[in-house]
Structure 1
Amino acid sequence: MAQTIIQTISGKEGYQMDGPNLLTHLHHRNISIYFLAGVATAPNFMEEFRIKTVERFQQAKWHVRHAEVLFPYGDWNCGLALQLHELRQDLYPLWKSKLAAIGGRAAAETIRTAYDGGVLMLIGHSGGGVAGIHAAELMMKADEISAEHIRLVQIGSPMCRVPAQLRASTLYISAAGDSVTFLGSWGGWEKGRLGIFRWNRRKFAPDSIVRVPIIGKHTDYFRGRSPYVNVEGISNLEVTLQSIWSWLQGGCS
């Protein structure tokens, strides 16, 4: 499958597998958006990003049924050691079953209480991106939603295996200098043409991956004010949000 270039508003390039616009092919314009925070996160860390994201969908004439920030591993008031242990277990499970995913299970339980059809979009930062993948898979396995209605975004997240049916609807965003994005793996063994097994480092990767030119590092994707504004007057928050919107629209800036 060919690759097409994602162009962000600041000119940086990533890549996306050829595919349809991820919004316009749907027959309805209802969406529920959940923002999943990583470990030891401040309660208001993603709030401005949540507000701006909802505004963007509303401007595009979408009905946002629900928009909420979740803390699948707890916020910064919870014990860091326990949160890291839970995330490590989700990222490097000792068994293949995802039913034991701690963060994903916590997120799915909350989402179920409010989700009432339409598109379900999960935007996760750091470990929240791992929990988002697990939550979506758990809900699909329970026949609560189909892959067609799920959109997943991982921002500054460790690499984790993405189920085959979700790869086309998953976007992975990283930035230079974000050490968290070097954790985990998308790799897996596969048979080559001669029947010899080889390691494919992108075997379980999402179809769409983009690097954004933000100012700062892992905790700075959602900064909306100086000094996190580039020479073009564009903040990190705007760069991150526009990258998501471009992906949803088919890779066009």
Structure 2
Amino acid sequence: MDNVDIFALAGIWTSPNFMKDLCMELIRRYENDGWSARGELLFPYGDLYFGRIRQLREITFDMLPLTLRLGRYLGGRKAADEISKLYRGGKMVIVGHSGGGVAGVHAAKLLLSEVEDLLPPTVVQIGSPKCSIPPVLREHVIYVAAVDQYGKWKDPITRLGGWGQLGRALSMRSIQTSPAIREIPIVGGHADYFRNNNIDVTIDSFWRDIR
């Protein structure tokens, strides 16, 4: 039986169990497909009870273009360190909500350079700020955004950042470097992707990409 390790990365100011249902449902689906599945909840910026100002500063830093960060990663570094200790080998899936999606991309890049024989992890960004995607990961990142009845993005966090190296959300460079985008009609907004029936809508949007 093949392993699949799921790492759910929360954003800032997040309650400890916010992504638990998502993690459990992904485990259930993988086990139904015959995988040995395990899930871990990670908080690369700290949880609801960790310093709020510090969390905000760290995600703001991580959203800067790589050149301005001088190659440094804050949330991504913390996530990569935890993942490398927990990873069993096999398939790796990183699912990040809000700022956790940014940390997830950064962690995947770090892990590829640090974990021997690791295949590119699949990274799912849910309701996340946009960030530049390294070329080696571009075909392995799925971006999920909530839309309203008119098909307009309604989650304000998804309007932040950019996919281009300079962080310009509307530039041609940004369009060329965007990940696979999944637009979903959920009830509610940024904090509701995993609430009630929304959780199935959210997971169904990327399940075929990660199974």
TM over 0.5: yes
- The answer to whether the 8 Å contact 1:34/1:121 transfers is yes
- The CA distance in 1 between the partners of 2:51 and 2:140, in whole Å, is 33
TM-score between both structures, scaled by the size of structure 2: 0.89
Larger displacement relative to structure 2 (30-39 or 239-248): 239-248
Shift >6 Å, 4+ stretches: none
Query: What is the match of residue 175 of structure 2?
Result: 202
Distance 1:72 1:93, change over 3 A: same
Aligned residues: 201
TM-score between both structures, scaled by the size of structure 1: 0.74
User: SS where residue 242 of structure 1 aligns?
Assistant: helix
Question: How far off is 1:33 after superposition?
Answer: 0.5
Residue 241 of structure 1 is aligned with which of 175, 192, 203?
203
- The answer to whether the 8 Å contact 2:3/2:88 transfers is no
- The CA distance in 2 between the partners of 1:52 and 1:188, in whole Å, is 34
Question: How far off is 1:203 after superposition?
Answer: 3.2
Task: Note the residue ranges of structure 1 that are not aligned, 5 or more in a row.
Answer: 1-27, 190-197, 225-234
Deviations 1:62-96 (A, max 9, x none): 111x3111000000101211101000100114636
- The answer to whether the 8 Å contact 1:119/1:149 transfers is no
Larger displacement relative to structure 2 (95-104 or 175-184): 95-104
Query: What is the match of residue 230 of structure 1?
Result: none
- Greater gyration radius: 1
Residue 140 of structure 2 is aligned with which of 169, 173, 180?
169
Question: How far off is 1:141 after superposition?
Answer: 1.8
1:160 maps to 2:131: yes
Q: What is the root-mean-square deviation in Å for CA atoms of aligned residues?
A: 1.9
Question: How far off is 1:52 after superposition?
Answer: 0.9
Query: Which structure has the highest helix share of the two?
Result: 2
Query: What is the match of residue 8 of structure 2?
Result: 35
1:60 maps to 2:33: yes
- The CA distance in 2 between the partners of 1:200 and 1:238, in whole Å, is 33
Residue 107 of structure 2 is aligned with which of 132, 135, 142?
135
- The CA distance in 1 between the partners of 2:49 and 2:135, in whole Å, is 36
Distance 1:62 1:99, change over 3 A: farther
- Identity among equivalent positions (%) equals 41
